[in-house]
Amino acid sequence: MESLSPESIGHRWVLDKGECSLLGVFGDDKMIADTARVSYRKGTKQTSTDKQLIRYLVRNKHTSPLEHATLRFYIKAPLFVIQQLLRHRTFKFNQSSARYSEMLNEAYVPLPEHITTQDAKNKQARTEDKISEAQYVASHMAGESDNSFENYQHYLKEGVARELARINVPHGTYSELIVTCDLHNLLHFLALRLNPHAQYEIRVYAEAMLDMIKGFFPATIEAWEDCSLKSFTATGTMQEALSLAISHVQSGIDWSEAVSVAADSTGWVSKSEKDQFIGWALTLKA
Amino acid sequence: MESLSPESIGHRWVLDKGECSLLGVFGDDKMIADTARVSYRKGTKQTSTDKQLIRYLVRNKHTSPLEHATLRFYIKAPLFVIQQLLRHRTFKFNQSSARYSEMLNEAYVPLPEHITTQDAKNKQARTEDKISEAQYVASHMAGESDNSFENYQHYLKEGVARELARINVPHGTYSELIVTCDLHNLLHFLALRLNPHAQYEIRVYAEAMLDMIKGFFPATIEAWEDCSLKSFTATGTMQEALSLAISHVQSGIDWSEAVSVAADSTGWVSKSEKDQFIGWALTLKA
Amino acid sequence: MESLSPESIGHRWVLDKGECSLLGVFGDDKMIADTARVSYRKGTKQTSTDKQLIRYLVRNKHTSPLEHATLRFYIKAPLFVIQQLLRHRTFKFNQSSARYSEMLNEAYVPLPEHITTQDAKNKQARTEDKISEAQYVASHMAGESDNSFENYQHYLKEGVARELARINVPHGTYSELIVTCDLHNLLHFLALRLNPHAQYEIRVYAEAMLDMIKGFFPATIEAWEDCSLKSFTATGTMQEALSLAISHVQSGIDWSEAVSVAADSTGWVSKSEKDQFIGWALTLKA
Amino acid sequence: MESLSPESIGHRWVLDKGECSLLGVFGDDKMIADTARVSYRKGTKQTSTDKQLIRYLVRNKHTSPLEHATLRFYIKAPLFVIQQLLRHRTFKFNQSSARYSEMLNEAYVPLPEHITTQDAKNKQARTEDKISEAQYVASHMAGESDNSFENYQHYLKEGVARELARINVPHGTYSELIVTCDLHNLLHFLALRLNPHAQYEIRVYAEAMLDMIKGFFPATIEAWEDCSLKSFTATGTMQEALSLAISHVQSGIDWSEAVSVAADSTGWVSKSEKDQFIGWALTLKA
């Protein structure tokens, strides 16, 4: 398969036929630190290193200096992934138009190992359990999208305008776009889309993007990984439960039981919050 | 067909299975005028009526007061229409999720009279000329989307997770969303999507929206129709050509010829701009 | 003093001459829950109450439904407060213009008890320690702004245009504006400006706004207070230190010492993060 | 006077003590054209040059490709100019903080020739007529701001916190900021602020910015100057009047009279629109 990407400073193949390229970067860690320092000009000494200052900014969510860095990507992805991407409203997009030009006659077909069952608990997710007929479903899906593109070509040959001939192409059809965004909002996007609850098919794009930008903002990315990706936000109620659990441990109970007892004696609005607290608290066992 | 729309203050059926409802309106002409008047508080007399003030604001693109009015819609539309809607980045969206719940098993099928040919000149548009096999194409399209939904149900029955089972549903599948926006940005959207160059399938939604909001902001909509929808923006080059045409008319030539001669003796960057000028100038013949 | 506020559904006097009014509200808890439910339409049962659903949305930062609620305020505040307000770029503003009309000849003068010293540690803040000459400084400040307005009037009488006559009015001069915003972004503003580190003179506006909107969105505000205002976000490094402290407690040490020992044996990028951890961890002592 | 600007690729002195530097540029005409071409990938030939394509984009307000170019500025300007700048909500700002650090003890003092009278007709503007006491007013203004800074220093010495000591500094006090923006929104800002109706003190910043960026986007700026800066938008009513004027010229009347007669026999919502039409139409006389 030949890449459709324009000249780039980073390139990754994604999914079966997708691509993600880093086309340009404007700014670096130093620019971010220098932008923050404009606040302090007179009357304060510059004592912190760039790395410390950036950690401070990211940890305290003083993220305005990160907005001054700009990144430019080329992305080839299925339409349903692009629809999720378009929800990020600070991004700038230019997408190939199915009115102006013929669509790529390529659709996403999942590998059998990715065709897994619906998660019964987390209603928006899928499990890791392969369905029994995965091989058959994968080839059936491939045949279905092939048929759709034959029909698309057929409609075009009948003279149907492009904007109308495309109405039955699969929602997994690949399309291309240029995305330009600032670093603050890109990291917000990545935090959402790297999350295990994000759909696998967009998560792999987020992983490719993070991988390509890491080297350009080492201090910022490191701070963000610790202060955002690995962070946990405890609600007021969770902090009460945590206090309780600590006091139980002091009375000699084991941590797992302390967490469980504390959770049971705390008033929660919903069971999901209690479960989230317990899940997190148990990771604190050294 | 039963409407899926929540309780509303306005409702329109759109396309074959689509809907558009006005769920709520915050503000009116008076609120817009009052917001503008906060600028003038002391030292200026209030001499203009709301209508005159609003005309002044709209004509001079002092549109910040229009941003204070809010509108809330329910929309059921094909995915390719929703993709265009999502490009309007000041709008607030909540869309039904194909990960959380089963998709509507309905897709847009155009009426035969809307299945027209590709425009050879305007590469993004279609003509008004029906293709010869329109009836056949329409029923073929309907059969194709029916098949897709059968396959979708089949995948679901095999246990495939919803987020994956949907990858081959047509790009014309209906989906629902709630859209909240401010009046200024809605009018910007309408100006783009009411344009004859906009795709018919989104234009009908724009028409439904305009129709439903008109009565709530009569002075603002009237000003906007004259100052924006019916306006023409003449570039510097076009104004030179217009000057020339007027001087030719003064020498006794007929307007059509004057326009043509003036256009020929003006330096244009591209033929499309010249053509646009001629097209507009000819409408000035009383 | 007479209020300049237009007709309103809520009004608060703020600072010495400021005001804050709630002019209108669009939406309520139910609308927020209904907007979220559009995602779940088919294939999922509605089991949660509005209150539980809203808690879930707020806790998991699924805040898009909160963007659909709109609030409209009238604010009379010192220019330096307005400058901070203008940084909130999703808000819609219309401010009284010092070019169009004469400025209010009123400036903020702090009460002596608010004239406190510079915080040596937190370089952007002030302490609670009144300076010795507070009474004198307050009346000197009042005299200074009175002089400025005399000069302003003098310049106007000399015929100087309003846009120029105002260049020396104090940065504490009162000005008026209409602010319209969505609930999600208002809560983001409030979280920043209710913070003890925010300047007192803007904090009192944030308090007035929160106080006036509370009754309109009881479930949302309650969830936000617990999940955002009272929340604590622990970085990855802080969670390591917390784990350590818990294991120390299990060995029989007292919590305060456990926290201190754990903090000392953790690798921090900066002392301020360590201090923040210790400060938080000590509050967990029941 | 020494420049406070960081290292830059362009620098201009503005007003009496202001500065504007271009710190960085991301993108060029070619990048804008390439971004637009992603729409046309397959099925359309690339026939137009970058210059023609850009003209087409700018003329038809297909400005999304211009959003992908980024510009970064350092600006030192009076607070009242910065307040106008902050209204541009797509810009990214980092401003020196009067809470963190001492303010610059410099305020804008206009040259006597810029101290002109209030415009009686255009209520937001000043005329070009110098007031009689201009020399005196200028030196009085200078003395006034000097006094303010003495008081500011005095308050600081009394121990008053910086955030409070600054409440009486003049609204013309210089402050510094870093501004990052995209080219589309910068051109929107420039169109508004280069306008003769914009206040002189911000117009000179707009002129400096345009002057520094011109060479980086020659085709885009040229297209924008002709299609936006020099353009005229005629409302529907104005086009009716223009038609009428042309028909009068055909009957042998002179253009000026034709315009006047046409304007009189057209129904206008307000006199200001009629006046604007006449003003424009008269410029069409070759």
CATH of the domain at C192: 3.30.1360.170
- Token pair of D248, please? 């009068």
Residue A5 is assigned to a structural domain of this protein: no
What is the predicted pLDDT for the residue at C122? Answer: 83
Residue A273 is assigned to a structural domain of this protein: yes
CA B219 centroid distance within chain: 20
Question: D94 vs A14, A247, D82, D190, CA distance in Å?
Answer: 37, 45, 11, 20
CB nearest to B249's CB, from D239, D249, D273? D249
**N residues, chain D:** 286
Contact D239/B255, CB-based, under 8 Å?
no
- Regarding whether A275 and A147 lie in a shared domain, the answer is no
Chain A residue numbers with beta carbons less than 8 Å from the beta carbon of C225 are: 236
- Token pair of C238, please? 């802080």
> Which burial class, exposed, middle or buried, applies to A283 when counting CB atoms under 10 A from its CB (0-12, 13-18, 19+)?
exposed
Contact B164/A97, CB-based, under 8 Å?
no
Q: What is the pLDDT of residues A118-169, one digit of tens each?
A: 998 888 889 999 999 999 999 999 999 999 999 999 999 999 999 999 999 9
Final residue before a domain boundary, out of B151, B168, B185 = B168
Tell me the shortest Cα–Cα distance from A174 to chain D, in angstroms: 13
- Regarding whether B179 and B224 lie in a shared domain, the answer is yes
Which residue of D lies nearest to C82 if distances are taken between CA atoms? D83
The number of CA neighbours under 13 Å toward the Cβ of B131 is 27
Assess A6–D contact: CB distance below 8 Å, yes or no. Answer: yes
Final residue before a domain boundary, out of A147, A168, A189 = A168
Subunits adjacent to chain D (3 or more Cβ pairs under 8 Å):
A, B, C
What is the predicted pLDDT for the residue at D47? Answer: 60
Q: What's the mean pLDDT in C201-216?
A: 98
Which one of A111, A167, A173, A199 makes the best mutation probe of the B interface by having the most chain B beta carbons within 10 Å?
Answer: A167
Residue A40 has pLDDT above 80, yes or no: no
What secondary structure, in 3-state letters, does chain C show? CCCCCCCCCEEEEECCCEEEEEEEEECCHHHHHHHHHCCCCCCCCCCCCHHHHHHHHHHCCCCHHHHHCEEEEEEEEEHHHHHHHCCCCCCEEEECCCCCCCCCCCECCCCHHHCEEECCCCCCCEEEEECCCHHHHHHHHHHHHHHHHHHHHHHHHCCECHHHHHHHCECCEEEEEEEEEEHHHHHHHHHHHCCCCCCHHHHHHHHHHHHHHHHHCHHHHHHHHHHHHCCEEECHHHHHHHHHHHHHHHCCCCHHHHHHHHHHCCCCCCHHHHHHHHHHHHCCCC
Low-confidence ranges of chain D (pLDDT < 70): 41-47, 286
Do residues D235 and B227 lie in contact, with contact meaning Cβ atoms separated by under 8 Å? yes
C12, C55, C166, C193: which one is catalytic?
A: C193
- Regarding whether B73 and B39 lie in a shared domain, the answer is yes
What is the predicted pLDDT for the residue at C188? Answer: 97
Chain B residue numbers with beta carbons less than 8 Å from the beta carbon of C26 are: 24, 26, 70, 72
- Regarding whether B159 and B25 lie in a shared domain, the answer is no
- Regarding whether B240 and B224 lie in a shared domain, the answer is no
Do residues D9 and D43 lie in contact, with contact meaning Cβ atoms separated by under 8 Å? no
ipTM: 0.94
CA B11 centroid distance within chain: 18
- Regarding whether D69 and D16 lie in a shared domain, the answer is yes
Residue B214 is assigned to a structural domain of this protein: yes
Residue B264 is assigned to a structural domain of this protein: yes
Final residue before a domain boundary, out of B229, B253, B272 = B229
Residue A8 has pLDDT above 70, yes or no: yes
Residue D263 is assigned to a structural domain of this protein: yes
Give the separation between CA B157 and CA D46, rounded to whole angstroms: 47
Could you tell me the residue range of the domain that residue B271 belongs to? 236-282
Assess A126–B contact: CB distance below 8 Å, yes or no. Answer: yes
What is the predicted pLDDT for the residue at B283? Answer: 96
- Regarding whether D183 and D259 lie in a shared domain, the answer is no
Contact C48/A270, CB-based, under 8 Å?
yes
Tell me the shortest Cα–Cα distance from C248 to chain D, in angstroms: 39
What is the predicted pLDDT for the residue at B44? Answer: 47
Strand segments (E) across A169-214: 174-182
Among C184, C179, C182, C181, smallest CA distance to C220 is for C184
Which one of A45, A89, A232 makes the best mutation probe of the C interface by having the most chain C beta carbons within 10 Å?
Answer: A232
Return all residues near C75 (Cβ < 8 A) that are at least 6 apart.
C18, C19, C20, C21, C82, C85, C176, C177, C178, C179, C205
Assess C67–A contact: CB distance below 8 Å, yes or no. Answer: no
- Regarding whether D273 and D186 lie in a shared domain, the answer is no
What is the predicted pLDDT for the residue at D121? Answer: 84
Among D164, D147, D166, D159, smallest CA distance to C133 is for D159
Tell me the shortest Cα–Cα distance from A250 to chain C, in angstroms: 6
Which residue of D lies nearest to C150 if distances are taken between CA atoms? D144
Count of the separate structural domains present in chain A: 3
What is the predicted pLDDT for the residue at C24? Answer: 97
Which residue of C lies nearest to B176 if distances are taken between CA atoms? C38
Tell me the shortest Cα–Cα distance from A45 to chain B, in angstroms: 41
Residue C22 has pLDDT above 80, yes or no: yes
What is the predicted pLDDT for the residue at C118? Answer: 93
What single-letter amino acid sits at D246? I
What are residue D15's phi and psi, to 5 degrees? Answer: 55, -155
- Token pair of B127, please? 């003509």
Residue D107 is assigned to a structural domain of this protein: no
Give the separation between CA A111 and CA B167, rounded to whole angstroms: 13
Among B91, B108, B285, B80, smallest CA distance to B198 is for B80
What are residue D90's phi and psi, to 5 degrees? Answer: -90, -10
Return the C-alpha torsion angle B277, B283, B285, B286, nearest 10: -150
Assess A275–C contact: CB distance below 8 Å, yes or no. Answer: no
**Residue showing tokens 């609003």:** B54
Residue D3 is assigned to a structural domain of this protein: no
> Coil, strand or helix: which one is B181?
strand
Give the separation between CA A41 and CA D60, rounded to whole angstroms: 44
Give the separation between CA B31 and CA B37, rounded to whole angstroms: 10
Do residues D127 and D113 lie in contact, with contact meaning Cβ atoms separated by under 8 Å? no
Q: What is the pLDDT along chain B (286 residues), one digit of tens a residue?
A: 789 898 899 999 999 999 999 999 999 999 999 999 998 765 444 567 899 999 999 999 999 999 999 999 999 999 999 999 999 999 999 999 999 999 999 999 999 999 999 998 888 889 999 999 999 999 999 999 999 999 999 999 999 999 999 999 999 999 999 999 999 999 999 999 999 999 999 999 999 999 999 999 999 999 999 999 999 999 999 999 999 999 999 998 999 999 999 999 999 988 999 999 999 999 998 6
Q: What's the mean pLDDT in C244-255?
A: 94
Contact A273/C243, CB-based, under 8 Å?
no
Assess D67–B contact: CB distance below 8 Å, yes or no. Answer: no
| B48-53: long-range pairs with CB below 8 Å, 24+ | B48/D270, B50/B219, B51/B219, B51/B223, B51/D269, B52/D269, B52/D270
Pairing of strands D18-26, D70-78: antiparallel
**Is D193 considered catalytic here?**
yes
Residue D196's CB is within 10 A of a number of other CB atoms, namely 8
For residue C111, what is the DSSP state?
A: -
Report how many Cβ contacts below 8 Å link chain B to chain C. 110
Residue B27 is assigned to a structural domain of this protein: yes
Q: What is the pLDDT of residues B67-103, one digit of tens each?
A: 999 999 999 999 999 999 999 999 999 999 999 999 9
What is the predicted pLDDT for the residue at A46? Answer: 58
Give the separation between CA A165 and CA A102, rounded to whole angstroms: 10
- Token pair of C89, please? 């770029």
- Regarding whether D92 and D18 lie in a shared domain, the answer is yes
Which residue of B lies nearest to A90 if distances are taken between CA atoms? B89
Assess B193–A contact: CB distance below 8 Å, yes or no. Answer: no
> What is chain C's Cα-based Rg?
24
Do residues C167 and D114 lie in contact, with contact meaning Cβ atoms separated by under 8 Å? no
For residue A113, what is the DSSP state?
A: G
> Coil, strand or helix: which one is B31?
helix
pTM value > 0.90: yes
**N residues, chain B:** 286
Residue D129's CB is within 10 A of a number of other CB atoms, namely 12
What are residue B143's phi and psi, to 5 degrees? Answer: -60, -40
- Regarding whether C37 and C126 lie in a shared domain, the answer is no
- Regarding whether C89 and C211 lie in a shared domain, the answer is yes
Contact C133/D158, CB-based, under 8 Å?
yes
Assess D175–C contact: CB distance below 8 Å, yes or no. Answer: no
> Coil, strand or helix: which one is D139?
helix
Subunits adjacent to chain C (3 or more Cβ pairs under 8 Å):
A, B, D
| A8-13: long-range pairs with CB below 8 Å, 24+ | A8/A74, A10/A212, A10/A213, A12/A208, A12/A211, A12/A212
Tell me the shortest Cα–Cα distance from D112 to chain A, in angstroms: 31
- Regarding whether C38 and C90 lie in a shared domain, the answer is yes
In whole numbers, what is the pLDDT of chain A averaged over residues? Answer: 94
The sheet carrying A174-182 orders its strands as A10-14, A18-26, A70-78, A174-182, A92-95
What secondary structure, in 3-state letters, does B83-111 show? HHHCCCCCCEEEECCCCCCCCCCCECCCC
Do residues B256 and B282 lie in contact, with contact meaning Cβ atoms separated by under 8 Å? yes
> Coil, strand or helix: which one is A55?
helix
